[in-house]
Copies of this chain bind each other. A is one copy, B any other.
Amino acid sequence: MRPSKVKNNEAIAAIRDVFREQGFDGASLTLLAEATGLQRASLYHRFPDGKDGMAMAVIDNVADYLEREVFASLESGGTWQDRLGVMCEQLDAYYNGGQTLCLLSAFSFGSVPEQVRLKARRMIGRWQDCLVVLAVDAGQSEAHAQILAEQILVEIQGGLILATLMNNIAPFQRVLNRLPKLLSETSEHNPSG
């Protein structure tokens, strides 16, 4: 078969970045074509389901990345500090230090296909489960680990939104920096020994 002009992974990364900046509805086929370096018709060859298919491919791609580079580490055998450190490094790179919004929040608005929304929901649930394991290893009770895992996701998402709104990465950086303390503090409501 004819050689591809652009590798599939590169195309998906470009498409992903357009979705993250423009949201689902703002990501027009023209913008997506420009970002990939392909013509619109060529995008339909790779993604026969059009924009919906691209959104699915992108979210699957992100799920694979998180599973490989973040969740695997969170569930691995090192110290909880080291595993948290790996996550923060990965997220700092993935979100460009806080200059790039999260695909999951981009897909919270507009006419995103239901299948994509469900995959996003499963992904955030899986992420929380991994963070619960981490929090338990950090000495938290199972109940409080659930709350802490949720709070970590809240702060990451909120930190990205605030960094974008303020045009300043500091809020996101401060979120990453306070995660170790958050996990090591004991709660008076949920003492964990």
Contacts and interface: CB of A to CB of B under 8 A. Distances in A.
B171 A161 contact: no
- Which size bracket describes the interface of A in this complex? 35 or more
Contacts of A147: 174
Given A147-B174, A151-B178, 19 more contacts: A21-B109, A22-B109, A22-B111, A23-B24, A23-B25, A24-B26, A25-B25, A105-B105, A105-B161, A121-B166, A121-B167, A124-B166, A150-B162, A150-B174, A153-B162, A154-B154, A154-B155, A157-B157, A158-B158
Contacts of A66: none
A39 B175 CA distance: 45
A111 to B, nearest CB: 6
A37 interface: no
A3 interface: no
Q: How many copies of this chain does one complex carry?
A: 2
A136 interface: no
A62 interface: no
Interface of A: 21-26, 101, 104-106, 108-111, 120-121, 124-125, 147, 150-151, 153-159, 161-162, 164-167, 171, 174-175, 178
Contacts of A153: 158, 162, 171
A124 B161 CA distance: 11
